[in-house]
Structure 1
Amino acid sequence: MHMLNPHCGVERDPRGIVRLTICNAGSLNILNSAAIKGVREGIEVLATERTIRALVIAGQSEKSMIGGADIKEMATLDQASAEKFISGLRDLCEAARAFPAPVIARIPGWCLGGGLEFAAACDFRIASHDSKYAMPEVRVGIPSVIHAALLPRLIGWGRARWLIMTAATIDAPTALNWGLVDVVAAEGALDAEVEKTIEAILECGPEAMRSQKALLKQWEELPLKESVNLSVGVFGEAYLTGEPQRLMQGFINRKR
Structure 2
Amino acid sequence: MSDSPLKVWLDRDGTLLRLRLARPKANIVDAAMIAALRQALAEHRGIPELRAALLDHEGPHFSFGASVDEHMPDQCADMLKSLHALIRDMLDFPLPLLVAIKGQCLGGGLEVAAAGSMLFAAPDAKLGQPEIKLAVFAPAASCLLPERIGQAKAEDLLFSGRSMAAEEALATGLIDNLSDDPETAALAYFDKALAPSSASTLRFAVRAAREEYRQRVTAKLERVETLYLAELMQTHDAVEGLTAFVEKRPAQWKNC
The two structures have a TM-score, normalised by structure 2, of 0.78
Matches within 5 A, 1:78-157: 78=74, 81-157=75-151
Return closer, same or farther for 1:5/1:207 CA change in 2, 3 Å cut-off: farther
Distance in structure 2 (CA, Å) of the matches to 1:17 and 1:5: 23
Between structure 1 and structure 2, the one with the greater Rg is: 1
Distance in structure 2 (CA, Å) of the matches to 1:85 and 1:131: 26
Other-structure match for 2:230: none
Question: The residue matched to 1:31 in structure 2 has which SS?
Answer: coil
- The Cα shift of 1:125 comes to 0.4
Other-structure match for 1:193: 185
Q: Give the AA of the match of 1:54.
A: A
- The Cα shift of 1:221 comes to 5.5
> In the alignment, which of 40, 43, 53 is matched to residue 42 of structure 1?
40
Give the fraction of aligned pairs with identical amino acids, expressed as a percent.
25
Other-structure match for 1:233: none
Other-structure match for 2:224: none
Question: The residue matched to 2:69 in structure 1 has which SS?
Answer: helix
- The Cα shift of 1:147 comes to 4.4
Distance in structure 2 (CA, Å) of the matches to 1:133 and 1:163: 9
Asked if structure 2 preserves the Cα contact closer than 8 Å seen for 1:126 and 1:182, the reply is yes
- The Cα shift of 1:15 comes to 5.2
Return closer, same or farther for 1:147/1:49 CA change in 2, 3 Å cut-off: farther
Distance in structure 1 (CA, Å) of the matches to 2:94 and 2:121: 23
Question: The residue matched to 2:100 in structure 1 has which SS?
Answer: strand
Question: The residue matched to 2:164 in structure 1 has which SS?
Answer: strand
Matches within 5 A, 1:204-223: 204-220=197-213
Distance in structure 2 (CA, Å) of the matches to 1:125 and 1:140: 27
Asked if structure 2 preserves the Cα contact closer than 8 Å seen for 1:21 and 1:60, the reply is yes
- The Cα shift of 1:4 comes to 10
Bigger drift between 102-111 and 10-19 goes to 10-19
- The Cα shift of 1:60 comes to 2.0
- The Cα shift of 1:55 comes to 0.6
Return closer, same or farther for 1:51/1:105 CA change in 2, 3 Å cut-off: same
Higher relative contact order (CA 8 A, sep 6+): 2
Runs of at least 4 residues off by over 4 Å? none
Question: The residue matched to 2:167 in structure 1 has which SS?
Answer: helix
Asked if structure 2 preserves the Cα contact closer than 8 Å seen for 1:135 and 1:167, the reply is yes
**Number of residues of Structure 1 aligned to a counterpart in Structure 2:** 214
Return closer, same or farther for 1:89/1:221 CA change in 2, 3 Å cut-off: closer
Other-structure match for 1:202: 195
Distance in structure 2 (CA, Å) of the matches to 1:211 and 1:30: 33
Q: Give the AA of the match of 1:191.
A: E
The two structures have a TM-score, normalised by structure 1, of 0.78
Question: The residue matched to 2:155 in structure 1 has which SS?
Answer: helix
Which ranges of structure 2 fall in alignment gaps of 5 or more residues? Answer: 217-256
- The Cα shift of 1:157 comes to 0.5
Question: The residue matched to 1:125 in structure 2 has which SS?
Answer: strand
Asked if structure 2 preserves the Cα contact closer than 8 Å seen for 1:93 and 1:147, the reply is no
Asked if structure 2 preserves the Cα contact closer than 8 Å seen for 1:28 and 1:67, the reply is yes
Asked if structure 2 preserves the Cα contact closer than 8 Å seen for 1:119 and 1:125, the reply is yes
Distance in structure 2 (CA, Å) of the matches to 1:100 and 1:221: 12
Distance in structure 2 (CA, Å) of the matches to 1:178 and 1:90: 25
Distance in structure 1 (CA, Å) of the matches to 2:27 and 2:156: 25
1:186-218 CA distance string (max 9 Å, x none): x3x323211221121113222221111111221
